[in-house]
Amino acid sequence: MEPIPVYELPSNAQQKSFQIYEVQGKVSRHEDYPHITNKPHRHKYYEICIFVNGAGKHEIDFESYDILSKSVHFLTPGQVHLISRERNYHGFLIVFSADFYGSASFNKELLFDYPFFSNPGNLPILNLKEIDFLDLMRIVDLMRTECLKSDLHSEALLRNLLHIFLLKCHQWHQRYMSKKEILKDPAFNTVQKFKSLVEQHYKENHLVKEYARLMELHPTALNRMVKRVSGENAGDIITGRLILEARRMLTYTTLSNKEIAYQLFFEDPSYFSRVFKKKTGMSPSDYRKHLFEKYQS
């Protein structure tokens, strides 16, 4: 099993840290897009997939989603994904770095607050109504026009257009994906912040009390809010994020079980194996063996 490729942001003479590519059929129209995308891979940058005409499947971190027309899929650095396109597929890829988004006006850490960017328990996709999708495409058209320019204001304009794009998607995510009564819960934003912190610190912080301390809350109060809003215990969300990363490593790297345990800050590899088996029903070794047999068949 070959290690999964990890791609850097494609280099472009005009806009190195923000680019848009149009994709038609099974391949990109842009010859300067250098990455091989017909195999599972991951990025060191953010990617937004905008599907005008949906056709195919999109696998993100072991979950498979149908590619529907008028939809948007969001990818966070480190996520493993594969888009299986069909002939009538048409869409756009927006790629950008965290540093591009960050500026005097926008803190790049705000990216973690968007529920669709690798936020545990939230879907990384939006299937939009036609009127909302057309609204989004107007922003995309403005971005594409600005990408062709190279004056002093282009980068700032693109950053602000990206911010508007993400805010609109956040608005629609809440409207489409969340239950209205949950949105009204005063704990909703606190739980979203907890999930954001888990994504940033899951390797070094394994305990609810560590996140409670960061949020200046009592662990019991934090767990109660998380359970009420998400239906899961706070500890289960933390463990689930660790196991996801372990599954990525077991699937796409040649690291040993012990090396994976240490990379995830488990002091005892045998304890890591017990946690993994409790969550998946298989030991790490059995999980990797199962994958090997699956790919060999």
Q: Per-residue pLDDT tens for 191-250?
A: 888 988 998 899 999 999 999 999 999 999 999 999 998 889 999 999 999 999 999 889
Calpha distance 263→267 (Å, rounded): 10
**Is the pLDDT score of 140 beyond 90?**
yes
**Is the pLDDT score of 26 beyond 60?**
no
Long-range interactions of 138-144: CB distance < 8 A, separation 24+: 139/164, 139/165, 139/168, 140/20, 140/50, 140/92, 140/94, 140/165, 143/20, 143/94, 144/20
Beta bridge partners of 59: 64, 82
Distances in Å between the Cα of 6 and the Cα atoms of 17, 58, 60, 121 are 17, 18, 15, 25
pLDDT in the model for residue 202: 94
Predicted structure pTM score: 0.81
Closest residue by Cα to residue 113 from 77, 167, 175, 71: 167
Mean pLDDT of the chain: 86
Helix axes 269-280, 284-296, angle to 10 degrees: 60
Higher pLDDT, 116 or 122: 116
pLDDT in the model for residue 208: 97
Which of 113-117, 142-146, 170-174 holds the top average pLDDT? 142-146
pLDDT in the model for residue 177: 65
pLDDT in the model for residue 220: 97
Q: CA angle 148-81-68, nearest 5°? A: 75
pLDDT in the model for residue 209: 97
- Specify whether the CB–CB gap between 276 and 243 falls below 8 A: yes
**Is the pLDDT score of 31 beyond 50?**
no
181: pLDDT confidence band, cut at 50, 70 and 90? low
**Domain annotation for the chain: domains and CATH numbers:** 6-177 (2.60.120.280), 184-296 (1.10.10.60)
pLDDT by residue (tens digit) across 40-49?
A: 888 889 999 9
Which of 9-13, 35-39, 104-108, 257-261 holds the top average pLDDT? 257-261
CA 218 to chain centre: 29
Which of 20-24, 114-118, 211-215 holds the top average pLDDT? 211-215
Percent of the chain with pLDDT over 70: 87
Residue type, 226: V
